[in-house]
A and B are shown apart, each in its own frame.
Chain A
Amino acid sequence: MTRKDKKQKKQRKDRKKEDKKKKESKLSFKRVCSDNFFALKLIHRSVPLYLPIWFGWSVLGALLGFLSNTYILRMAVNSVQLGKDPGSTLLFIIIIVVAETGFSFATGFASHFLIPKMRIKIRGDIQRRLFEKASTVELACYERPEFYDKYVRAMEEALNKVFDVVDTVDQMIWRVVNLSANSLLLYLIDPWLILFGLIPVVLGLLRKVEVSEYYKYVNGQKPIDRKKNYIRRTFYQNDYAKEMRLTSMYKSLFEDYKGCWKSYLKILRRHGSLRTLLGFIIECGMSIFAYLGAILFSIYRTVVQGTMLYGDCVVVINSIMSVSYGVGSIVSGFGSFREHALFIENMRVFLDYKPAIDENEEGDCVPKQGGDLTFEHVSFSYEGQKGRAVEDLNFTIRKGEKIALVGLNGSGKSSLVKLLLHLYEPNEGRILLDGREISSYNLSSYRGLFSVVYQDCKNFSATVGENVLLRRVEEKDKELVENALRESGGYDKVATFEKGVDTVLTKEFDKNGEVLSGGETQKIQLARIFAENRPIAVMDEPSSALDPIAEYRMFQNMMRACEGKTVVFISHRLSSAVHANRIFMMREGRLVECGTHEELMAQNGHYADMFRKQASNYLGKE
């Protein structure tokens, strides 16, 4: 085993461990903080003014809010009770009113003129980094469901969470300022009042139990929801429509749906009852002991002992609740940080992810005209799958050769192509271009050698021209596009469009966009090979969606257009393999036969057998 292999194996193991760890344990407190901090840093890097403006505002807003809501009232009531000069109180009120008004004005200004623009910019900057990353992580990541679900698909959600962090910090600032101001005021009025504010802290212990019951309830529902969604899909999705009508599967699915209700009730009963009881105790404790208790206490002080003023009483009535709930809301605020962290953690891992296939930007450029491609003892297996996809492949494809890859389903043809394109790294062995390992070249220059048509191809929601050239189309490119389409047989269709090659495909953004059939789509994709003048063409079943005549024409054109180019194509229809210079017959991941059609027929091995079976139907038994 070479050093590289060991390194890779270790990497894989680590990755698995990492994934497992994450599933099992929650994020540490430290990690939660650093994740949230990471989100703030992302924002700060994009628009440095955003956070200072936002948070400065929160402090100011909270203070002013306290003054205008609570403090004024106390002053007004007390001044009347004590018979003070109303003029000075009025003056104070007016000062606060003016300040508050100025503040609202400025807030409005900021929130309509500055913040939205900044947000869009921040969003755009982060999104671009994510796009960048998404197009560089190795393809294997997309095949690891844990990785894919967690990091790739959840990205859009994670992006929203970045802003949620700011909102939560903002709320926290508001709450802390508000709580401190109110507590301070209560303390100044009567230190004993603080005790009432502490009741919720005691009740908070119960809250913890309640929250954990809540999570059990929510998690218990997840499998039920999954089941329900699946059943619903089978009832309304087009994919299932015919089978649902032609088989009796719908009956058992329908019964299953009803069964979900019972399972739900069970979950609710198990985890809902205790939660309700606790919720009841907590809420009543809060409103009766904390709120009414504090009021009773202050009335006692005012009426019986005479140590408190009316205005202070008003303050107690108004603020005791915000103090009691304040502590809880700050604690639960930390809960939201934890929640954000889960998403941001994913984003962070994703952004920090080091692709197993290095971009190798300092790597050498490939020879412009391509060269011989050599596989030396190449083996490869997909992660999480037993058995090897390809095993001990040894061959050289010389420059300009036309190679047909044939074999049964699952014999490793597509895997071979993906290894060739350096979408995966082989587990063992080496792949060489012109005698040098392909990983020593700059990755994008290496991939730039290939034009590729995939079996499961889709057109992009862009113009025909852009779909062919895969870049912006200038006026001078149009002829190139049209010629390429002629070669691939797609031009007839495109010519019927009003806007020709400028026609937008798919109806995603353009109501007048054209939706193409499978065969037409494939023709557009094939045109890429003709349009891009790259030395190597790779085609994975290029003709599967074409009807026989279109297939025939396409092959003729391809052979003509690819003169001098290296071509590797996979085909199920052996009739097309006849054209190839050499045929590689794959079987269970190995290259079992190799040679021209005549040679292989003469060998009378697997290929000959397969060919005869297919041909027998055409040639008849006569």
Chain B
Amino acid sequence: MSYMDDREKAKKQKKSRVVYNSAYMLVKVFRYAPDVVIFSGLYAVARGMLNSVSLLLTVNLLNALDEGKPFSVMAGMIGTAALAFLVLRGFDRIYYLYLSPRISQRLHYAMHKELLLKAWKADLACYDDPEYYNDFVWAMNNADGRAIDIVNDFRALISTFVYSGSVFGVIFTVSPVVTVVLMTASVLQLLIDRKANKLYHEESEKGNVLSRKVSYLNRVFYLSDYAKELRTSRVGELFKEQYAQTVKEQIALKKEYSKKYFLLETVCGNLLVGNCATFGTMIFLFILLVQGKVEIGGFAASVTSCWALLWLLTDLAYTLMRFPLHALYTQRYIEFMQREPKVVSGGLPAKCLETLTLENVRFAYKEGGEEILKGVSMEIHQGEKVAFVGYNGAGKTTLIKLLLRLYDPTGGRILYNGEDLKNYDTESPRARMGAVFQDFKLFAATIGENVMGSTYGEEDKEAILQALKAVSFTEKLATLEKGIETPLTREFDDGGVNLSGGESQKIAIARVFARPYDLIVLDEPSSALDPVAEYELNRSILEHCTGKTVVFISHRLSTTRMADRIYMFDGGKIIESGSHEELLQQNGKYAEMFRMQSENYKKGA
């Protein structure tokens, strides 16, 4: 999803939608932080007036000169201007240096309070839908910035109107003909800018692939991910060649558009409209001046503001052209805020887990998409150790996510103590289940907080230490000066510690030991560990989980021996189930897989 696609979409919106959405955001901003809108409005008027003061002063002073008024009158005018400057410039500075940063930050925080909560409540499924996820990321990072942009553009519009109003006013009193000419020129200029803008979009759209290519190549050469391969293979040559090709294509694309731009912007815009209007006005007014039909003040002011007017209009055109994009993003924001999570609370609080029953559970990540689970049934009783095995993509991890109610099944039911999981509230069953995922993530917080999954008090310390002991992290912990208070990662703290993959995994596993969970879910808990650590961990898990219900996934079948019951998954279904011995006797897929893994160990022993 790129910026250019957005531009395309923005153009296709209806005008009414553009107006509505922009206004919507303005109102929204007003609700979050009314001072943002009020002060911006005031500032806009002040800014417009500030420019007008200079213009009016010029006209009046020069006219007074021409009319031979006394010095005191003119000094009075200058005094008035000084007063106006004091007030307006003063406000300008205060707004710009103090108020504006403050209120935009205020808006930022007000919006994010809502956004963060919204994000937290969003279904995990949102992360799987790339389109929605993009909106999601966008909203989190840019929504407030966009809101500020919209306010600022409104602000710019107002000050432009105020200022151009006074400019046209002055010119009109001098010569209505010139006013008409300049207005026509302005309209033409706006049209030309619009057309040029279209051309520009067209070009960047065509160049989009090329710039993406360049940024990819940048990543290849600059990111550490590829550094080793660049050095040990010749792939660098391949990419340098591709880069040269990309540059050539970029030049060719530029060439295609040069002529169009030249004709439109230079010939039509600058020469025909810009120069004709301004210089024409100047010569025309000069003749009038010589003939005594206009006053010096009016002449000087009109000529100087001619140029300013054209710049003003170009600005105006660009400001206006930004609104469709604003509207598009506002739309995205509206939709994001309106989306309600599908995994919703059913209200019941969960009691201690006794049985988990799966009845013909089906699941697809996308509606109508391929089913990852095609009818899975099983029953897990309190205290059982259950292992899920099978090839990559057989649906094991997905099933675990359903058990934790990160998703709701698309077919069938999951019963918690005989009651449909959907009838419970979302948080209380989750609070009874501890899980470690293969792609676990640690937070930039202290070790203790990471283990507890929250801030903790003095009374929790023992539990944390015990949990860390269970995953044999004690040795490493002893080397850390601050013990469990040691912050992880150097994100915020130079004294932070970066743990290795295996050590991080241990911390993640410790989570499930730190609290008295009813159900422990382990998704390939030992993948980053070496064999000895794996062995010790498995033993330790066994020790700590007596009496607890455990569901675990493992690639290494060695671990599955300790399970009471093994479910072999294939293509979203359970194809075999039973204890290790039973399955070996069945001599099916599990047995085949196990033999293959153990063959070399047998040979070696």
Q: Which residues of B contact A409 (CB under 8 A)?
A: 500-502, 528-530, 533
Question: Which of the candidate stretches A178-186, A190-198, A231-239 sits at the interface with the other chain?
Answer: A231-239
Q: How far is the CA of A143 from the CA of B65 in the complex (A)?
A: 73
Q: State whether A575 and B120 are in contact (beta carbons under 8 Å apart), knowing that A134-B221, A264-B105, A272-B97 are contacts in the complex.
A: no
Question: CB of A288 within 8 A of chain B?
Answer: yes
B27 smallest CB distance to A (angstroms): 23
Chain B positions 265 through 276: 1 when the CB is less than 8 Å from some CB of chain A, otherwise 0:
111001100110
Q: Are A549 and B593 within 8 A (Cβ)?
A: yes
A231 smallest CB distance to B (angstroms): 8
Q: Which residues of A contact B82 (CB under 8 A)?
A: 288, 292
Q: How far is the CA of A120 from the CA of B211 in the complex (A)?
A: 12
Q: Are B102 and A112 within 8 A (Cβ)?
A: no
Q: Which residues of B contact A280 (CB under 8 A)?
A: 89-90, 93-94
Q: Are A243 and B443 within 8 A (Cβ)?
A: yes
Q: Are B231 and A618 within 8 A (Cβ)?
A: no
Q: Which residues of A contact B112 (CB under 8 A)?
A: 232, 257
Partner of B236, one of A108, A135, A276, A421: A135
Question: CB of A594 within 8 A of chain B?
Answer: no
Q: Which residues of A contact B561 (CB under 8 A)?
A: 617, 620
Question: CB of A279 within 8 A of chain B?
Answer: yes
Chain A positions 550 through 577: 1 when the CB is less than 8 Å from some CB of chain B, otherwise 0:
0010000000000000000000111110
Q: Are B271 and A101 within 8 A (Cβ)?
A: yes
Q: Which residues of A contact B455 (CB under 8 A)?
A: 252
Question: CB of A360 within 8 A of chain B?
Answer: no
Question: CB of B348 within 8 A of chain A?
Answer: no
B538 smallest CB distance to A (angstroms): 8
Residues B564-605 near A (CB distance < 8 A): 593-594, 596-605
Query: What class of interface size applies to chain A in its complex with B?
Result: 35 or more
Q: Which residues of B contact A288 (CB under 8 A)?
A: 82, 85-86
Question: CB of B435 within 8 A of chain A?
Answer: yes
Chain A positions 76 through 95: 1 when the CB is less than 8 Å from some CB of chain B, otherwise 0:
11001100001001100110
Chain A positions 253 through 289: 1 when the CB is less than 8 Å from some CB of chain B, otherwise 0:
1100110110011001000110110011001100110
Q: How far is the CA of A315 from the CA of B494 in the complex (A)?
A: 59
Q: Are B78 and A552 within 8 A (Cβ)?
A: no
Q: Are B270 and A108 within 8 A (Cβ)?
A: yes
Q: Which residues of B contact A139 (CB under 8 A)?
A: 227-228, 231
Q: Which residues of B contact A575 (CB under 8 A)?
A: 597-601, 604
Q: Are B141 and A287 within 8 A (Cβ)?
A: no
Question: CB of A472 within 8 A of chain B?
Answer: yes
Q: Are B299 and A77 within 8 A (Cβ)?
A: yes
Q: How far is the CA of A288 from the CA of B53 in the complex (A)?
A: 12
B143 smallest CB distance to A (angstroms): 11
Q: How far is the CA of A620 from the CA of B558 in the complex (A)?
A: 9
Q: How far is the CA of A230 from the CA of B296 in the complex (A)?
A: 62
Q: How far is the CA of A76 from the CA of B285 in the complex (A)?
A: 10
Residues B467-522 near A (CB distance < 8 A): 491-492, 500-502, 511
Partner of B127, one of A124, A241, A576: A241
Q: How far is the CA of A581 from the CA of B235 in the complex (A)?
A: 31
Q: Are B136 and A236 within 8 A (Cβ)?
A: yes
Question: CB of B13 within 8 A of chain A?
Answer: no
Question: CB of B392 within 8 A of chain A?
Answer: yes
Question: CB of B449 within 8 A of chain A?
Answer: yes
Chain A positions 331 through 365: 1 when the CB is less than 8 Å from some CB of chain B, otherwise 0:
00000000000000000000000000000000000
Q: How far is the CA of A518 from the CA of B267 in the complex (A)?
A: 57
Q: How far is the CA of A284 from the CA of B87 in the complex (A)?
A: 9
Q: Which residues of A contact B23 (CB under 8 A)?
A: none
Q: Are A108 and B267 within 8 A (Cβ)?
A: yes
Q: Which residues of B contact A303 (CB under 8 A)?
A: 65, 70-71, 74
Q: Are A109 and B218 within 8 A (Cβ)?
A: no
Chain B positions 237 through 253: 1 when the CB is less than 8 Å from some CB of chain A, otherwise 0:
11111011001001100
Question: CB of A610 within 8 A of chain B?
Answer: yes
Question: CB of A535 within 8 A of chain B?
Answer: no
Chain A positions 461 through 475: 1 when the CB is less than 8 Å from some CB of chain B, otherwise 0:
110001000111000
Question: CB of A128 within 8 A of chain B?
Answer: yes
Q: How far is the CA of A447 from the CA of B140 in the complex (A)?
A: 45
Further pairs besides A113-B258, A128-B244, A272-B98: 12, Cβ < 8 Å: A76-B282, A76-B286, A127-B214, A130-B221, A239-B441, A246-B404, A251-B454, A264-B105, A272-B101, A575-B597, A597-B604, A614-B558
- What are 17 contact pairs spanning A and B, CB under 8 A? A89-B286, A93-B282, A101-B271, A105-B266, A112-B261, A124-B244, A275-B98, A299-B61, A313-B65, A314-B58, A317-B300, A409-B528, A421-B228, A452-B228, A452-B232, A457-B229, A460-B235
